[in-house]
Amino acid sequence: MRLLAIGAACAVALGIEASAQAQEGHLGHGHAEWHSRFYNSLQRPDGKGSCCNMLDCRPTSIRTHGGRYEVKKDGRWIPVPMDKVIHRTAPDWGAHICAPATSSEAQAHGNFNEDVYCVILPPDI
């Protein structure tokens, strides 16, 4: 019985960790789940084509900070460029970001790419 409880606790912890990682806005996390059903239909608000170049879109977290919205991109909070917001609701009703990744080498040197193609906000915002 005790072994079963330990196993269940480990499974829950791993599930929470995977979910948390996907909400950090890291390139590729959660993309496959939404690509064909959602991401491939999104068009950039600036008229420069698709938001998604096969891996650019992913679920993310959102917060309000200093009177503005911020989303996680590559594990960092960045301001939401309001001219990049697409007024559609994601199938999971969550926040999503479409943006190029910051290379791990650039991150190691504290250089983060804050470019964003598109942001989808939850409907309650």
Q: Mean pLDDT in each 10-residue stretch from start to end of the chain (125 residues)?
A: 39 38 60 81 92 85 93 91 94 91 64 84 88
Give the predicted TM-score (pTM) of the model.
0.73
Q: Which residues have CB under 8 Å from 42's CB, separation 6+? A: 50, 51, 52, 57, 86, 88, 98, 118, 120
Backbone region of residue 28 per phi and psi (left: phi > 0; alpha: psi in -120 to 50; beta: other values): left
Residue 101: predicted pLDDT: 78
Residue 125: predicted pLDDT: 76
Neighbour count for residue 30 (Cβ, 10 Å): 22
Residue 112: predicted pLDDT: 67
Q: Give the tens place of pLDDT for each residue, 90-114.
A: 999 999 999 987 766 655 666 666 7
